[in-house]
Structure 1
Amino acid sequence: MDERIDKIILSALEEDIPSIDITTDNLLTDEISEGYFIAKEDGILSGVSVMKRVFELVDDTVYIKILNGDGAAVEVGDVIAIISGKSKSILKGERVSLNIMQRMSGIATKTKSFVSEIENDITKILDTRKTTPNMRILEKKAVVDGGGINHRYSLSDQVLIKDNHIKAAKTITNAVKIIKEKVDANVKIEVEVETYDQFLEALSTECDIIMLDNMDLELTKRCVNTNSGRKKLEASGNMTIDRIKAVSETLVDFISVGALTHSVNSLDISLKFNK
């Protein structure tokens, strides 16, 4: 497991149990329990492997058998995993493991709903940096489990020249020229444009990707036709589930959807002990 994920888990456990579990530690000793994680609604799973890691960090003697892993589609009542071990260890990891798995599965489920709207082999769904602070690695993994693709992970990964960058550099052409001279050749350069004139200017530069920001369908189609495959095109801005099919039919290469991570409902999952 990635060290960054371990850090998130350990921080979450410390938040949940800053000293002792005042209920469990005063009630139980070495009792053994068996239980199961169960889906209480239909969806796509993510964070199952992270759930397992939570218990490894709490007590590595806890045994978990995964029946439905990351990326699996589940229906109400499906058993995700069976767990057995010291009752107090399971109870101490329960809430952190569920919080993470429920949120990640909610993201994967929402991503899958967007991906399922696309009926061509060209357009791909991208996530954004609109993630929960310090949870990005988990939320972006969830997008992949739902069939989406990760955009840049951080500001260090890829150049994205946005409206305020352009204003500061005076023109798109100047901004791309300055950046191109300073970054490694393998670093992709993306430019955000809002008008057709800006699109034409970006098209004439050495950028790799052009983001069509908040453009209507007609203007998006015009840009795609003018582009003729020269640059990769990304549509962005107010991408709701109701719009996604129509936007994908313009045959842009990517559609970025902030809602995958910034406004998502967790998937309902429970941990139940056997009687």
Structure 2
Amino acid sequence: MNHASIPDFLLQDLISRSLDEDLGGAGDVTSRAVIPDGTVYGARMNARDAGVISGMQLARLSFHTVDPSLKVETLIPDGGVAKAGDVTMTITGDAKAILMGERVALNLAGRLSGIATMTAAFVAETKGTKAKITCTRKTTPGLRLVEKEAVRHGGGSNHRFGLNDAIMIKDNHIAAAGSIEDVLTRAREFASHMRRIEIEVDNLSQLEEVLKVGVADVVLLDNMSNADMTSAVGIVDGAMVVEASGNMRLERIAEVSATGVDYISVGALTHTVTNLDLGLDF
């Protein structure tokens, strides 16, 4: 699967901060103490588990930030699938430099590959339906851009990136600002023609109210039963994009997809994820 990479310059601050955190003011004191200057080695980044790979761009940047002369070759690109034991990347050059960049590269690539792998499992459950898996804003602070990219590497799609992207009216907005009609009317007056409006509903009666006002582009069905979601899709009848959310565990996805919803948003893709086990060996 081919993906357009994020421009390197947008990721450089993340890499620099991560390396500063790991190296401190003294660098890798162990390697400085025991490895002779000028020692050249070749290293392999190995997938110890099978999964979808993400974060190879960040791994490359980690090594090249430490030492631009390192030769880094990506063998399994972001979005590619690795079997246990596959080599995803090779790094050749100064041994001390490789070891300085190792942990940042593995931490980021392991986490992002875990996200991509989990996303792919959810996407597989939607087979034969129009439903798309999408992520949420429940991301690790400072890592949203790359975690959302990892979701795309796994075959998912992205929800809004931040509060500034779209108008998304939730139950607390309605409670604080008034009725469904009030908040939708104000939202439409505020929004430009380029900004979409999404509103969350908990039941079919709220959905009917939203349709009566008629200004929302997307409706989010929050914690509804499969039966109610099926009814909601019929009631909407193409007038809005329909998104399902709330308690979206992997074992539910096939049934939720079959209700006819357009999107299923899954917070667990980025907040409850196990890193893919990657290792670096000389």
Counterpart-to-counterpart distance in 2, 1:269 and 1:61: 23
Which residue does 1:90 correspond to in 2? 98
Q: CA deviation at 1:33?
A: 0.6
DSSP-derived class of the 2:126 partner: coil
1:14 to 13, 17, 20: 20
Which residue does 2:168 correspond to in 1? 160
CA contact (8 A) 2:133 2:157 kept: yes
DSSP-derived class of the 2:61 partner: helix
User: Which aligned segments of 4 or more residues in structure 1 are displaced greater than 2 angstroms?
Assistant: 1-4
Give the TM-score of the pair, scaled to structure 1.
Answer: 0.97
Mind listing any 5+ residue stretches in structure 1 that lack a counterpart?
none
Counterpart-to-counterpart distance in 2, 1:178 and 1:79: 54
1:230 to 230, 239, 258: 239
DSSP-derived class of the 1:165 partner: helix
Which residue does 2:58 correspond to in 1? 50
Counterpart of 2:32 in structure 1: which amino acid?
D
Shift in CA distance, 2/121, structure 1 to aligned 2, threshold 3 Å: farther
Counterpart-to-counterpart distance in 1, 2:179 and 2:120: 38
Decide which moves more: 245-254 or 53-62: 53-62
Per-residue CA deviation, residues 171-194 of structure 1 (Å, 9 max, x unaligned), is: 111101111111211101000000
Mind listing any 5+ residue stretches in structure 2 that lack a counterpart?
1-6
1:26 to 33, 36, 54: 33
DSSP-derived class of the 1:267 partner: coil
Q: CA deviation at 1:121?
A: 4.5
Q: Does 1:240 align with 2:246?
A: no
Which residue does 2:258 correspond to in 1? 249
DSSP-derived class of the 2:33 partner: helix
Q: What is the aligned length?
A: 273
DSSP-derived class of the 2:151 partner: helix
2:199 to 191, 205, 211: 191
Q: Does 1:211 align with 2:220?
A: yes
Q: Percent identity?
A: 41
DSSP-derived class of the 2:29 partner: coil
Counterpart-to-counterpart distance in 1, 2:51 and 2:58: 17
Q: CA deviation at 1:264?
A: 0.3
Counterpart-to-counterpart distance in 2, 1:39 and 1:104: 13
Per-residue CA deviation, residues 5-50 of structure 1 (Å, 9 max, x unaligned), is: 2111111101001112111122231110101111101100000111
1:266 to 228, 250, 275: 275
What is the RMSD of the two structures over their aligned residues, measured on CA atoms?
A: 0.9
DSSP-derived class of the 1:23 partner: helix
Counterpart-to-counterpart distance in 1, 2:132 and 2:98: 39
Per-residue CA deviation, residues 96-153 of structure 1 (Å, 9 max, x unaligned), is: 0000000000000000000000123511000000011111111101000000000000
Counterpart of 2:33 in structure 1: which amino acid?
N
Counterpart-to-counterpart distance in 1, 2:232 and 2:144: 32
Counterpart-to-counterpart distance in 1, 2:167 and 2:20: 36
Q: Does 1:140 align with 2:143?
A: no
Counterpart-to-counterpart distance in 2, 1:75 and 1:228: 43
Counterpart of 2:272 in structure 1: which amino acid?
S
Shift in CA distance, 105/196, structure 1 to aligned 2, threshold 3 Å: same
